[in-house]
Structure 1
Amino acid sequence: MGSRAEILTLDRGKQQRFYTQWGGRSLHLDLLPGPGPAHRFATAQRPVENWSYGLEAAAVIDFDQRMLLWFSSTCEESALRAAVFEVMSITWPGWRLHWAGYRELDLIDYCAGRWPECVVTVRDTTGRTRFYMPPIGSGDLLNEGPALVATVAGWDEAKRIPTVVTSGIDLDPGHRSGTVWSLDDSADALVAAAAARWPGWIWESRPDRASALSESIPSAGPELTAAFRNLAESFYQHQLVDAGTAAAASLLHAADRIRETMATAGSTLEIMEDNIFAHCPVDLSAAEIASTREAILAAEQQLLP
């Protein structure tokens, strides 16, 4: 019972993991104000050693790489998730923000150094395309030259795409041709570098390839408008009464009623309270609350002009 969440922080190479029994459904609200408040919330929770499974929410906050990777069952609906990410683009400036589509598996891969930097596809002589997600950037891979084809052949094929990838390389050794694509404007420079290191190969830049892989933002409309209103209201209510505290209080109240009923019948009820109190709300400053509310309004205006 509960709304379980875990948060792992990475800071100066040190990993710390924290657990809350009741903060899962509202984790996005505790992440929303930015890295500082999110770190305070994380470190206020119970330290734990290992990842759990079946969590309602979880996050990795990597201060070394300025990377936030997270998921939440509350934000499965795409409009609310889009609203949260748009606000985070303001409150987490300079950070990479990613949704962990494979939940704990993505977070475990990231912490183990297996998080992909790009996607590599290779077409063999039969026309079959093999798919790889290496933890190495496109630029470093292209610097290997044609030897990369043999290197890739020794890799295990990818079983899933953890999140939106930012760049990729498509290789067709049979025709000695390749394509480079990227979410930013680096694809042309990568192609120019490849032309010097891959003699006899033909390279092209395809920025449209990246946009096809990225997660689409819902178009402006009633659903997105409602999502921003929901986010603003839930953030406001969360500051009045922390959702996790309210849930724990409800459980304690129900347990007291059951105990009273059993006492009337001559029985007793033993309550294990270890996890009931495995949640610690963190108060935001007035300035942090105000800046987050302003960010919600600004984000809504950006997506809903």
Structure 2
Amino acid sequence: MGDRANYVVVEDGSWQLYYSHWGATTVDVDILDGPRSAARFLRAQRATDRTDWLDDTWCEGAVLADYDNSRLLLFTWHLDDRDHRDALFAVLARTWPGWRIDWAYEGLRELAAYVGADPSAVTVEPSEPTRQAPLQAVEPGEEEYATIVSVRDDRGPRAYSLFVDDLPELLAHGPALVDRLPQEARCEGEQVVPADGVHIDVPRREVCAWISDTLFTARCPELPDWPGWTWTFWADRYAEQVTAAQGAVRFLPPDLRPAVAMLAGRIDRLGERDPAASAHALADRLREDGSEVRVSPFVDAHTVTGPDPGERAALRAVLAELG
């Protein structure tokens, strides 16, 4: 039980690694109030040896704050959708002025590489080949969770809206994906901006993708299941697919106001919640019911901090402006 996170603070030419047993679910609210508030939170967590990283199986979220170079790098598995992430970045751009703020598309590996640690130390290699995802059309009303696949070949540009749990499992089909795309997944007209997208240019032997989450093959020079094809990672730049698809893909302008309101609600609901105390309370209730319960010492590896009144007032002003 836990939502494990690593944090890295870079300052005065050095860096410190921290661990939280519960922090991955609240990466957004823990850093929203700006760099000073975030520094208090990050430094309050459990300091660990520089070699004591989580790995990319157990780490569900991470934050690196470089106070020497005004750089913020983060990821978490626990954002609701793309709008949640875009709203988070819109707020951070205002509460962390002057900072470069980036999503860690390769997850914890990217943070480790940033501070000069060996990314392989946080990497769990798969024990078997990546399975090929079932190819099924997205259900009506679930389009924001879709993967849009666009194809350019001698049949002309076209697009498909698929429900795919894991983008690497879609890419594992290799070039055969083009002929396996189900006709019932064809889509036309404007779509809501989905979770991610893949573009396949058959004449040029190019495969490109953008994503809102993490993709461990993002920086690979070539995809293993696409030998001889050029691989291009577009980060989160979905406009690249719109251009490449030559009219087959069109996205509706995003409206971040509902996601900004959701962020405001998360601050009120989760900002000072103590997950360690909640875990102990649950253990006590189970003991009262006669269950034998042993609590891991890692349960207490999370410290709640809060912003000062000025920081929180500034954040609320930003939320009001964006909402």
| TM-score, normalised with respect to structure 1 | 0.60
Evaluate the alpha carbon distance shift between residue 299 and residue 226 of structure 1 in structure 2; reply closer, same or farther with a 3 A threshold: closer
- 1:36 deviates by 0.8
- 1:83 deviates by 0.3
Larger Rg: 1 or 2? 1
User: Deviation per CA, 1:237-278, whole angstroms, max 9, x where unpaired?
Assistant: 234x42xx1x33332222123223337xxxxx3633521211
Paired position in structure 2 for 1:258: 286
Secondary structure of the structure 2 residue equivalent to 1:61 = strand
User: Deviation per CA, 1:171-218, whole angstroms, max 9, x where unpaired?
Assistant: xxxxxxxxxxxxxxxxxxxxxxxxxxxxxxxxxxxxxxx9x7652498
The answer to whether structure 1 residue 161 and structure 2 residue 184 are counterparts is no
Q: Distance in 2 between matches of 1:66 and 1:278?
A: 27
Matches within 5 A, 1:44-55: 44-49=44-49, 50-53=52-55, 54-55=58-59
Evaluate the alpha carbon distance shift between residue 128 and residue 29 of structure 1 in structure 2; reply closer, same or farther with a 3 A threshold: same
Q: Distance in 1 between matches of 2:34 and 2:75?
A: 16
One-letter amino acid matched to 1:24 = A
The answer to whether structure 1 residue 111 and structure 2 residue 115 are counterparts is yes
Secondary structure of the structure 1 residue equivalent to 2:64 = strand
The structure 1 residue matched to 2:277, chosen from 249, 252, 255, is: 249
- 1:22 deviates by 1.4
One-letter amino acid matched to 2:219 = I
The structure 2 residue matched to 1:278, chosen from 284, 297, 301, is: 301
One-letter amino acid matched to 1:66 = S
Evaluate the alpha carbon distance shift between residue 109 and residue 220 of structure 1 in structure 2; reply closer, same or farther with a 3 A threshold: same
Q: Distance in 2 between matches of 1:3 and 1:48?
A: 17
Evaluate the alpha carbon distance shift between residue 40 and residue 213 of structure 1 in structure 2; reply closer, same or farther with a 3 A threshold: closer
Return the structure number with greater helix share.
1
Check conservation: 2:21, 2:298, Cα contact below 8 A.
yes
The structure 2 residue matched to 1:236, chosen from 251, 268, 283, is: 268
Check conservation: 2:283, 2:295, Cα contact below 8 A.
no
Stretches of structure 1 lacking an aligned partner (at least 5 in a row):
116-126, 130-157, 163-209, 264-268, 301-305
User: Deviation per CA, 1:122-180, whole angstroms, max 9, x where unpaired?
Assistant: xxxxx999xxxxxxxxxxxxxxxxxxxxxxxxxxxx96339xxxxxxxxxxxxxxxxxx
Paired position in structure 2 for 1:169: none
Evaluate the alpha carbon distance shift between residue 270 and residue 74 of structure 1 in structure 2; reply closer, same or farther with a 3 A threshold: closer
Check conservation: 2:283, 2:293, Cα contact below 8 A.
no
Q: Distance in 1 between matches of 2:41 and 2:296?
A: 21
The answer to whether structure 1 residue 98 and structure 2 residue 121 are counterparts is no
Evaluate the alpha carbon distance shift between residue 281 and residue 219 of structure 1 in structure 2; reply closer, same or farther with a 3 A threshold: farther
One-letter amino acid matched to 1:161 = R
- 1:79 deviates by 0.6
- 1:64 deviates by 1.4
Q: Distance in 1 between matches of 2:82 and 2:253?
A: 12
Paired position in structure 1 for 2:316: 293
Q: Distance in 2 between matches of 1:67 and 1:219?
A: 31
One-letter amino acid matched to 2:23 = G
Q: Distance in 1 between matches of 2:118 and 2:70?
A: 17
- 1:3 deviates by 1.4
Evaluate the alpha carbon distance shift between residue 112 and residue 219 of structure 1 in structure 2; reply closer, same or farther with a 3 A threshold: farther
Secondary structure of the structure 2 residue equivalent to 1:18 = strand
Check conservation: 2:276, 2:301, Cα contact below 8 A.
no
Evaluate the alpha carbon distance shift between residue 76 and residue 67 of structure 1 in structure 2; reply closer, same or farther with a 3 A threshold: farther
The answer to whether structure 1 residue 215 and structure 2 residue 219 are counterparts is no
Secondary structure of the structure 2 residue equivalent to 1:9 = strand
Secondary structure of the structure 2 residue equivalent to 1:75 = coil
Stretches of structure 2 lacking an aligned partner (at least 5 in a row):
120-203, 207-215, 221-231, 240-250
User: Deviation per CA, 1:16-71, whole angstroms, max 9, x where unpaired?
Assistant: 01111112101111111111111100000110122102222101111111110000
Q: Quote the RMSD (CA, aligned, Å).
A: 3.0
